Amino acid sequence: MKMGNESANMENMYEGKNIGIILDKKNLDNFVIREFVLNENINEHQKLEIQLEMDEEQRKNLERIIEKENVEIEIELSGLDQNVRRKIFCGIVDYFEILDYGSYGCRILMKAFSKSIIFDRKNEKKYRVFQDTSLMFSDIINEINKDYADKKLEIKYSDIAKKQIGSLVVQFDETDWEFLVRLASQLKTGLFVVEQGIILFGMVEMGEVKKENKYFSDYSLVRDYKNLYYKVQSNKVINLGDTVSISENTEKNKAEENGKNSEDFNGSKGSFSVLKTKIFLKDFILKSEFLATNMGSYHIFKKYNKKIRGCRIEANVERVFEDGGIAKMEVKFSEGLKRIVQERNNSESNDRAYDDYGLKRFPLSYQTFYSQTNTGFFCTPEVNDTVEVYFPNEDERFAKVSWAINNKGNGRFSDYTKRNFQVNQSDFNFNLNLNAFEVKTAEKYSVESPNIVENADNFVNKATQNLVVASDNYLGIESIGDADFYASKINIIGKEKEITVESLSSDVRIKGKKVHSN
């Protein structure tokens, strides 16, 4: 009975001789593996370290390979059926060393990362803004995938990504990998590089449930702050993202074979997801040390972009409006993002800025002066104004618009002798210069005060149609010099009392072709 259980648990067990290496798209032969370590972790790239011993003939081929950059390497495992191969690693060599033993051959040391590292090149920072809150996380992933179509790389996603972003999302000075890890944390999940080199956003059920039994392996139960997981030392190859079934007795396998619910047995612990694993070669056997947990209860801390805190991005105003009594505007970021990339650009940088995504814009509050009831002569931002969007903390949702910056036309602020204020373009125009004061309105100009005094060397009141001077009480017109009244017709009418025409120092003359006195 015990031998039968041991046979069942041979599944996913491999020896060193079962490891196949494909380097630069060619199978390596005649090698001995001295060291093999493959580390896999949520939100990280696979890391492979391997040491080989090879003969002199193989060394010559490797010397041609070491001269190349970005050499690809794959690791395959073969079981009893040599035609069935399990690809556990597909990556790019980062470090390559050949230690020559002369006629005795050579030792090869290679360190490699999974191809997911291409999403995380430190000299390729990206700048994107997603303002349309109806976009889904899957839409963002699809946009990022477009940049890697020529490399035949793609990030796949689970149903958890089919959720609307619901707020402003900004990729600022981040690699695509860093950005996606941050987005995944908002959904309480992560990125996984699994078998076949597949990159996953969120956990995807891989189908096969790999069995682990305490009878054949050691494990411990660990509490790490908010999280509870199993730490297992196994004689099997267990990869990141695998689903494992952990039990404490030998009856579990029989129950699964008979189609029974494993929870019928007291020793069963159910199925768990692998979040971290180390696959290594020891005593010619591939072993694993892994952490497994229930993803439904596993706590992932929300990540923020520390680089955006305190930063400012120039943006172009597209709409200004009021929302619930609060001053708001909609802007476009693309030109400001491109400016940042241009200013930071150097010979080693491949940074890139993108146009705003989506049809809609995210409403941003903009700074005004203090009053709730008065605006004074505060200038309302105009469409196409260049404004500065400020990010006070690490959460882009708290972005706000401060002031105009690098705004074409705002050089007039540097001329302290001229000020102007307009409403609706030409409907109202207020100009105050060092030598002139002009006010223009569309319909009416009204001034009201208990006392109004106007003094000027030359004073002209002109109406293109009608001019009326009226007083509720006294009206006096006085000129120290001459006074002339010209009109096609002049009427002087006293409504209630007499009319007096008097000269204090000279004659009074009335002249006309005919003078009528009634």
Domain boundary among 259, 293, 327: 293
Do the beta carbons of residue 342 and residue 329 sit within 8 Å? Answer: no
In a shared domain, residues 248 and 364: no
pTM of the model: 0.81
Question: Which parts of the chain have pLDDT scores under 70?
Answer: 1-10, 80-82, 102-103, 206-207, 248-269, 377, 423-428, 432
Residue 478 lies in a domain: no
Residue 413 lies in a domain: yes
Residue 110: per-residue pLDDT? 97
Phi-psi region of 342 (alpha: psi -120 to 50; beta: other; left: phi over 0): alpha
- What whole-number distance in Å separates Cα of residue 393 and Cα of residue 381? 24
In a shared domain, residues 337 and 279: no
Do the beta carbons of residue 285 and residue 16 sit within 8 Å? Answer: yes
Residue 375 lies in a domain: yes
Residue 192 lies in a domain: no
Domain boundary among 381, 408, 423: 423
- What whole-number distance in Å separates Cα of residue 176 and Cα of residue 151? 15
In a shared domain, residues 113 and 247: yes
- What whole-number distance in Å separates Cα of residue 115 and Cα of residue 106? 27
Placement of tokens 């080693």 in the chain: 348
Compute φ and ψ for 489, nearest 5 degrees.
Answer: -150, 135
Model pLDDT for residues 158-167, shown as the tens digit of each residue:
999 999 999 9
- What whole-number distance in Å separates Cα of residue 86 and Cα of residue 77? 5
Residue 417: per-residue pLDDT? 72
In a shared domain, residues 45 and 80: yes
Residue 264 lies in a domain: yes
Domain boundary among 293, 325, 353: 293
In a shared domain, residues 253 and 316: no
In a shared domain, residues 112 and 215: yes
Residue 239: per-residue pLDDT? 95
Report the first-to-last Cα separation within the chain, whole angstroms. 146
User: How many structural domains are present in the chain?
Assistant: 2
Residue 123: per-residue pLDDT? 92
In a shared domain, residues 7 and 100: yes
In a shared domain, residues 285 and 226: yes
Q: Give the domain range for residue 17.
A: 2-117+204-293
- Residue 407, both tokens: 């705004």
In a shared domain, residues 209 and 316: no
Residue 450 lies in a domain: no
Residue 336: CATH number of its domain: 2.40.50
Do the beta carbons of residue 140 and residue 166 sit within 8 Å? Answer: no
Model pLDDT for residues 41-71, shown as the tens digit of each residue:
999 999 999 999 988 777 888 888 999 999 9
In a shared domain, residues 336 and 414: yes
Residue 149 lies in a domain: no
In a shared domain, residues 32 and 111: yes
- What whole-number distance in Å separates Cα of residue 30 and Cα of residue 26? 13
Helix, strand or coil, per DSSP, at residue 230: strand
Count of Cβ atoms closer than 10 Å to residue 25 Cβ:
9
Number of helices (H), then strands (E), in the chain: 6, 27
In a shared domain, residues 316 and 240: no
Residue 133 lies in a domain: no
